[in-house]
Amino acid sequence: MSILSINGLHKNFGAAKIIQGIDLNIEEGEFHAVIGPNGAGKSTLFNLISGQFSPSAGEVTLHGQRISGLRPYQINRRGLSRSFQVSNIFAQMNVFENLRCALMWSSGVGYCFWRRAARSGDIDARAHALMDEIGLTARGTDMAGNLSYAEQRALEVGMTIAGGASVLLFDEPTAGMNHHEVETFATFLKKIAEGRTVMMVEHDMNVVFSLADRISVLVYGQIIATGKPEDIRADPAVREAYLGADA
Ligand SMILES: Nc1ncnc2c1ncn2[C@@H]1O[C@H](COP(=O)(O)OP(=O)(O)OP(=O)(O)O)[C@@H](O)[C@H]1O
Ligand SMILES: [Mg+2]
């Protein structure tokens, strides 16, 4: 059984048919990249999976159970967590506090009243472990807003994995990074993906082809190809629709 299964998924915004019948199965432990031109519907697909939108038709199942129609936090509790294209961190809090917040949300505290909440040794210990996993221990007491751009994205990954989700969705994790940062971050994502299942929207083809076990190509709300990197690279329809002749 696939860990994540997308069946006959459609999403319309008024008359605009943005997602037009997507079927896709993601296997446990897989690193799956979704590529496609701007406006193809990649973020919309993620919004449908993570519960920000409900589908016009079709459904998504996680561990064999339907999650479409559930609220994002309910889907999160079932083990699926996503990052956003736009940053979600609190610039005025330090790294440790940001992680602590994410941990408190995931354990059911709706708002981040951590400053007033009794100190919890358990949450603190988990925040330290997370900081270590994302390589930001040395930056723990620095304001998130003072981190480098790549460090902020790493913190965001930390907040995404805080709740212990086994399925992670990353929407353009390397967007806005310079070449060196992208390389470092790709290595980081590979480490984070160990023991987890990942779906990633990404425009940087070096990152996609170095990390993905399989790739799906989304064009105008439909998946025109799914396969191993070498098959996608060689696929004439993909080259024509998206990768270009020089891919
Ligand atoms: N809430 C919404 N209401 C109406 N239209 C929307 C909504 N969200 C997305 N769209 C439209 O759906 C289409 C797909 O958008 P989406 O953000 O999913 O594309 P994308 O593949 O993620 O693009 P990019 O690579 O630029 O991030 C766009 O035409 C967009 O304007
Ligand atoms: Mg997008």
* Residue 75 vs residues 79, 98, 145, 160, 228: alpha-carbon distances, Å: 7, 21, 29, 13, 28
Residue 179 binned pLDDT confidence (cut-offs 50, 70, 90):
very high
Q: What is the structure's pLDDT at 75?
A: 94
Residue 20, pLDDT score: 98
Q: What is the largest CA-CA distance in the chain?
A: 59
pLDDT in tens, 85-100: 556 789 999 999 999 9
- Which tokens sit at 144? 């998130």
Q: pLDDT for 58-112, tens place per residue?
A: 999 999 999 999 999 899 999 999 986 556 789 999 999 999 988 888 776 655 6
pLDDT digits (tens, 9 = 90+) for 111-123: 565 555 556 778 8
For atom 27 of ligand 1, the residue with the nearest CA is 38
CB of residue 42 inside a 6 A radius of ligand 1: yes
Query: What whole-number percentage of the chain has pLDDT above 70?
Result: 91
Average pLDDT of the segment spanning 206-216: 97
> How much is the average pLDDT of 152-166?
93
Q: Which ligand neighbours the alpha carbon of 203 most closely?
A: 1
Q: What pLDDT is attached to residue 247? A: 45
CA of 40 to the centre of ligand 1 (A): 7
Please check the confidence at residue 158 and state whether its pLDDT lies above 50.
yes
pLDDT of residue 208: 97
Alpha carbon separation from 79 to 40, 52, 72, 120 (Å, rounded)? 27, 15, 11, 23
| CA of 85 relative to ligand 2 center, distance in Å | 7
Instruction: State the closest ligand 1 atom to the C-alpha of 85, by its place in the atom list counted from 1.
Output: 27
**pLDDT over 90 percentage in the chain:** 80
Q: Is 144 in the pocket of ligand 1 (CB under 6 A)?
A: no
Structure letter (DSSP) for residue 143: B
Ligand 1: residue whose CA is nearest its atom 16: 41
Task: Specify the pTM.
Answer: 0.92
Q: Which residue owns the Cα nearest ligand 1 atom 17?
A: 43
Mean pLDDT of the chain: 91
Determine whether the shortest distance from the Cβ of 52 to ligand 1 is under 6 A: no
Cβ of 153 less than 6 Å from ligand 1: no
Please tell me whether residue 98 adopts helix, strand or coil conformation.
Answer: helix
Torsion angles phi and psi, residue 177, rounded to 5 = -90, 155
Rounded Cα distance between 183 and 124, Å, is 31
Q: Any alpha helices (H) in the chain, and if so which ranges?
A: 42-50, 72-77, 95-106, 121-133, 149-161, 179-193, 205-211, 229-234, 236-238
Q: Which ligand sits closest to the CA of 53?
A: 1
Which domains, and CATH codes, for the chain? Answer: 1-77+208-247 (3.40.50.300)
Strand order in the sheet with 80-82: 80-82, 167-171, 197-201, 31-35, 214-219, 222-227
pLDDT of residue 123: 87
| Segment 132-154 mean pLDDT | 95
CA 41 / ligand 1 centre spacing (Å): 5
Q: Ligand 1 mean position to 7 CA, how many Å?
A: 20
Q: Look at strands 65-66 and 57-62 and give their pairing.
A: antiparallel
